[in-house]
Amino acid sequence: MEPLMNLDRRLTLALAGAALLPATRVAARGPDDRWAEGVFQLYRGLINSHDFDLLERHVIAPDAVFVFSDRREEGIAAVRAGFERTWSILPDEVYEMTDPEWLIDGPDAAACAFRYSYRGTLADGRPLSGGGQGINLFRRAEGRWRLTFEQLTPDTRTAKA
């Protein structure tokens, strides 16, 4: 059990160290699932189609985990239900992901921090909008990159200390 604990410590230290390194920006490779950035670009382009089948086919891993401020969705069925719940509340939602910063860009794993915003109209006609920051983790399996983890948090730039 000790080697496993050491591995956990090494991973924790490596991730903490990676967070302290300056973010690198990778050259745009286009909307293509051969590259983590390509899957990120696909995600940005497909999310406003409100077609989860496309997201599942081209972007989201079957074992994906999505963490929001009010819930956690694990596995493709739960992630689908979360997206569809959001689209039922905001059927005209426009979701944007901006300012991507590639924190990790490895051969089999990648991490991208970004800003997000959303806007739409509730059923009663009231507008709703918001945003914050997010992180996407990508994993390559069987030669294809897939989004395996997303965490969104409210905007903290305006939070009072």
Q: Which tokens is 98 given?
A: 């901006």
Q: Are 100 and 24 in contact (CB under 8 A)?
A: no
How much is the pLDDT for 82? Answer: 94
Question: CATH assignment of 26-154?
Answer: 3.10.450.50
**What pLDDT digit, counting tens, does each position of 97-118 carry?**
999 999 999 989 999 999 999 9
Q: Where are the domains of the chain?
A: 26-154
Alpha-helix runs per DSSP H in the chain: 2-20, 36-46, 52-58, 76-89
Per residue in 21-54, pLDDT (tens digit) is 333 333 444 455 568 999 999 999 999 999 999 9
Q: What is the pLDDT of residues 93-102, one digit of tens each?
A: 999 999 999 9
Look up residue 12 and give its two tokens: 């924790």
Q: Supply the pLDDT for residue 160.
A: 56
pLDDT at 16 over 50: no
- For residue 20, the model assigns a pLDDT of 37
Torsion of CA 48, 49, 50, 55, to 10 degrees: -100
pLDDT of residue 24: 36
pLDDT at 91 over 70: yes
